[in-house]
Each structure stands twice: as C-alpha cells, then as structure tokens.
Amino acid sequence: MERAEMGPQLIDAHCHLDLMAHPDAVADEATALGLGLFDCGVDPRDFSAANERARRQPGIIAGIGLHPWWLADGRCGSTEVDLLCEVAAQERHIGEVGLDFSERFAGSESLQIQALDRLCDVLVQRPLAGRVISIHAVRSAGTALDALESHGLLIPNPDSPAIIFHWFSGTSDELVRARNAGCYFSVNERMLASKRGREYARQIPLDRLLLETDAPTEPNTETSAQSLIRSLAWTSERIASLKNCDAKHIESAVLANARSVFSLR
C-alpha cells in the first residue's frame, strides 16, 4: 500500500472499469499496485456508481462519458445526452465522448455531431480549470477538431481542457493538426498493431504521449490490474523501440505527462 500512498507509479489513461467482469476488484488491485486508472464511461447513467468507486480509491479517476457507438445504435438517446451535459457541466473528467463515422454507423453522423456540439457548448459555458476530455474519433478526427476549435476549446488559456485523442487513427494531416493544437495522444497495444499506428506513435512528441489499454476488448471480460500493467509495459517498450530510446525514459516521461494532465501528485 506504500506505493499507492506515494501516488500512482503508472497510469492507464483510458480504460473501462464498468465493462470489466469485476470492476471493484480491479480498482482495489490497481490501488494496491500503484496503478492509476482513467475510468472512461460509455453511458452517463453509469457515472454515479463509477464516481463513488473512484472516491474510495486513490488514483482511480471516473470520467462522465457517452460513447458514440451507444448513441449511433440507439442504446442512448436524447435523455442520455441531456444527462451527459448536466453532469459534465460540474465535472473535470470527461470521457469517452466523440465521433465514429465508420460505415456501420452511417446515417448517425448528424446525431453524433449534435451531441458533441451540445457538450462543447456546456463545457465553454461552465469552464473548470484542470478539465480533461478523452476523445474517440474514428474517420472523424477533422470533424472532432472542427467542433473543439469552433467552440474555442483548443485556444490555450488557464481554463482550456487537456484534449486527449485516444487510439488516434485519423490521417497524417489530422495528426499534425491535433499535435499543433497541443492535444495529447493515448496509445495502446492495438494501435501499435498497424503500420500506421506505429508510425503515428513514433511521431507523437514525448511531452504529448500517454499510455492506455482501452481494456476490456469485450463487455463483462475477466480483467486484472496485473494484465493492465503488462499491457502498458509492453506498449511503452514498443514505443521506446520506435523512438530508439530506453523504455524507462518513455515510462518516466509518460508518467510526468499523466500526472500533469490529471493533476496527480
């Protein structure tokens, strides 16, 4: 428990405790092992329980989210968008939110954009220092950046949120645009499985790099904090190889980034 009292020594910048088979057990184990977790929500109705769990565990951060998949396939609708905006107005940690213009969600693009625009409106009207937003953007990174930019959320000032593109998969031009806007990027094993993902990881500046697992891959999956740590360690080693530097250097830089982004000691 001594490590946890010193603050997290490793931070997973994007995972989903609610989708794990035993979220409380994973949270307990993570705290004991000194693993910090940004627990990104996918349905705003789950936030209250997730936030209560985070209050009990140092290093666990609950995000209020509405995954674009849930909106696109009808699992969530206008009531959940209202709830997202109502809660997000008072919260510093927002995620997972964003856009997914994959072929299987064709026809829902305008619905997704409206929800993101509403959320951005609320965040501008109710600014909070230290706010963090984890963004899902599949075939839509430019549109997501347009929304953030049009609402002034990319303008550097004391109340500007830290924008994290999770598992970035946009075009190289969109990567440059997000990078120039000061966004962060959280990288996971599956991103590094593709040639483009590896090249993007190589190009991401060290001071904008975060590690994530995006675990679990399927709902109700048996997961452990140890497995999250192994995934993060593998990812940092792979990035170190891509950047031709020592893995410990990557881990140290990423930990400093995460502590800064999430205001952790």
User: How many structural domains compose the chain?
Assistant: 1
- Indicate which CATH number applies to the domain containing 179: 3.20.20.140
What type of residue sits at position 227? Answer: S
Digits of tens for pLDDT over the chain (265 positions)? 333 456 789 999 999 999 999 999 999 999 999 999 999 999 999 999 999 999 999 899 999 999 999 999 999 999 999 999 999 999 999 999 999 999 999 999 999 999 999 999 999 999 999 999 999 999 999 999 999 999 999 988 877 899 999 999 999 999 999 999 999 999 999 999 999 999 999 999 999 999 999 999 999 999 999 999 999 999 999 999 999 999 999 999 999 999 999 998 7
Task: Determine the structural domain holding residue 173 and report its residue range.
Answer: 2-261
Q: For residue 13, give the nearest of 195, 143, 204 by alpha carbon.
A: 204
Enter the pTM of the model: 0.96
Question: How many Cα atoms within 13 Å fall on the side-chain side of residue 216?
Answer: 16
3-state secondary structure of 130: coil
